[in-house]
Structure 1
Amino acid sequence: MERLFHISTINKYLEWFEDDWDKIKAFSERHQMDGVELGLTLDYDISRIPEGIVKGVHLSFYPMWLDFWQGNLEKVEQILGSKEAVRAYYGGEDKQVMIDTYKKQYERAKTLGAKYMVFHVSHVCIEDSFTWKFDYTDEEIIDAAIELLNEVFPADEEGPLLLFENLWWPGLNYLDKEVTHKLIKGVKYAQKGLLIDISHLILTNLQIGTEKSCYAYIKEVVKNLGELKDYIYGMHLNKTLPKYYMSQDRSYLLERYRETQAPMLKNRILKQHIQKLDPHRPFDHEIAKKIVECINPKFCVYETNPADIYEMAYFLKQQNKALGILYK
């Protein structure tokens, strides 16, 4: 198993390391990591990245994409507010822009020598994340994702593993074995598999309030996948305990979101809500080791959301300690 940590080529991370990949490599080695999973922006010069450090690439994610994919621009424009906002969100007004974007990312992943790519299989409209009422079923989203992926990734070409990641919204969530199997079977690209994000899986059971209940639930879900467990090549290790937040009355959040006019303030309300659900905190409890052993992935990614490089180092140390890894 390779242990990786997640960074991105956005300014936040680049500034921490002064855009110096020798410093990123040294940081990785100091914390006994085998490399990085990279969120790769299309404008970053990948010739700066030395060979061997990037093990995986996280492909971009459009949380609400299905209506755009189906050509329902009227609905998308109504949600986002204007045609300009639609163009800014997707990069254009036709679904071909999504296909082209993912094809470019695929080529860049191959150039970097990445072993795998991560793709979110999910769809959610903004207000649905507050109400938990959704427009589409898991299967409808899986069907559309298969269409998109078969447009992007060639069936007759060998490349990095394409790993499908779960979310707690409709799409891939690992609660339905047959739907999960449909995704695996329907995508024609041969090198494919699954990735379990621990926090995202926990959020499919909003009664979880302890680390031990996390483990019991994850173990049961993985067991119910049966032979599909063999397709699980990756995991994102992080923690959330949603019971306390979800037991509160949150109806005021949607009201505030609807009444707020300024896009920046609306986005702040949404972001704070999502971060309460999915804070990307480190799994600092010793039972994390049992969770990793249960899933037994080829790639275990420490995907957390630190505020600065010092907190990132602290988060890596916490998860290493939870897995019984000692510092030299």
Structure 2
Amino acid sequence: MVELINFANYYTNRDMIDNSSAGLKSLLAQLDVDGIEALFCDPWDAAVFPASSIHGVHLNFWPTWLDFWHGNQQALERQFGSKENILAYFGGTEPEHMLACYRRDISQAKAAAAKYIVFHVSHNELDEIYTWRFRADSLAVVDATIEMVNSIVGDIPPDMTILFENLWWPGLTLLEPRLVDRLLSRIRHPKVGIMLDTGHLMNTNPELQDERQGVEYILSVLGKLGTLSNSIQGIHLHQSLSGAYVKQSRCQTAPPVDLAASMAHIMQIDQHRPFSDSAAKQILELVEPEYLVHEFIVASREELVVNTNLQRKALR
């Protein structure tokens, strides 16, 4: 099992390693992990993030994208208010722009000799994160993902694995085995699988009270997948117990659009906290993943070290 941390090349993360490969090497040694799953917010700089440290690449994504992909301008203007806002969000006006962004990330992943790439399979509109009343269902999101990925699959090397990540919004939630099978069986690429995100899966059950209940729930969901669980090749390991907040914050009418407030709201739901209960070992024992990614949202190197050490201690 290859043990990794998630690490973006955003300036705040570069500051944690003094914007140097030596700083990155020092951090990985301090954490006793094998490397990183990279997210390229900026162009990849091999002088700071050498290919030897990169095992996987998490592709950039748009949480709201379905109507853009289908060219539904009326729905887009309802959501974003103007063509200028649509352009600002997507950086273009046609679906081909989205594909070009994915191809750019894939090209950088190829150059870094990444073994795998990660696709989010999810969609939500901004008001839906408050109301939890979704206009698109998981089948629609999965089918659009199949169409989109197959349109760029020729750019992905045959020996690079595509791992699809579960979320709690409509899409790949892992709660419907038939949709897991539909997604994996219809991608025209020889190497596909699942990146199990444990915190995202916990977010699908607002009744969870503690980590042990969370682990039991995850194991139950994986058991219902049957042989499809064999497709899980990696784990984004973290925990999220946000059910009380979800129940309290759910409303009939969404507040006025405020991107900063919306991001804060999402992070209250998707907490990315470390496991401290040794029950988390049961997930690894069941899945036996090829890649284990300690995935946290942190504000400092010190916080990253504390979280990673706490979770690794639980796994021991």
Q: Residue 315 of structure 2: which of 287, 300, 323 is its match?
A: 323
Distance 1:239 1:119 in 2: 20
Does residue 1:284 correspond to 2:272, yes or no? no
Q: Deviations over 1:174-197 (max 9, x none)?
A: 011111100001110111110110
Once the 2 structures are TM-superposed, how far is the Cα of residue 131 of structure 1 from its aligned partner?
A: 0.7
Distance 1:157 1:8 in 2: 23
Distance 1:78 1:130 in 2: 17
Q: Residue 292 of structure 2: which of 291, 294, 300 is its match?
A: 300
The 8 Å contact of residues 207 and 242 in structure 1, kept in 2 or not, is answered as: no
Give the match for residue 25 of structure 2: 25
Does residue 1:204 correspond to 2:196, yes or no? no
Aligned structure 1 segments of 4 or more residues deviating by more than 4 angstroms: none
Q: Deviations over 1:238-296 (max 9, x none)?
A: 111123223325439x55x32x6xxxxx1222112111111111112211111222222
Distance 2:116 2:187 in 1: 16
Distance 2:156 2:220 in 1: 36
Distance 1:313 1:193 in 2: 29
Q: How does 1:136-147 map to 2 (within 5 A)?
A: 136-147=136-147
Q: Deviations over 1:197-244 (max 9, x none)?
A: 001001111111111111111111111111111110011111111232
In structure 2, runs of 5+ residues without a counterpart are: none
TM-align CA RMSD: 1.7
Query: Aligned AA for 2:174?
Result: Y
Once the 2 structures are TM-superposed, how far is the Cα of residue 155 of structure 1 from its aligned partner?
A: 8.5
- Identity within the alignment, %: 33
Name the SS of the counterpart of 2:51 in structure 1: coil
Q: How does 1:92-171 map to 2 (within 5 A)?
A: 92-154=92-154, 157-171=157-171
The 8 Å contact of residues 106 and 156 in structure 2, kept in 1 or not, is answered as: no
Which deviates further from its counterpart, 44-53 or 237-246? 44-53
The 8 Å contact of residues 121 and 172 in structure 1, kept in 2 or not, is answered as: yes
Distance 2:243 2:41 in 1: 34
Give the match for residue 176 of structure 1: 176
Distance 2:169 2:51 in 1: 36
The 8 Å contact of residues 118 and 165 in structure 1, kept in 2 or not, is answered as: yes
| TM-score, with structure 1 as normaliser | 0.92
Does residue 1:267 correspond to 2:259, yes or no? yes
Distance 1:286 1:207 in 2: 21
Distance 1:135 1:67 in 2: 11
Distance 1:45 1:138 in 2: 37
The 8 Å contact of residues 155 and 188 in structure 1, kept in 2 or not, is answered as: no
Give the match for residue 313 of structure 1: 305
Once the 2 structures are TM-superposed, how far is the Cα of residue 12 of structure 1 from its aligned partner?
A: 1.1
Distance 1:285 1:47 in 2: 38
Distance 2:73 2:42 in 1: 25
Once the 2 structures are TM-superposed, how far is the Cα of residue 46 of structure 1 from its aligned partner?
A: 3.7
Summarize the Cα distance change of 1:156–1:306 in structure 2 as closer, same or farther, 3 Å threshold.
closer
The 8 Å contact of residues 42 and 105 in structure 1, kept in 2 or not, is answered as: no
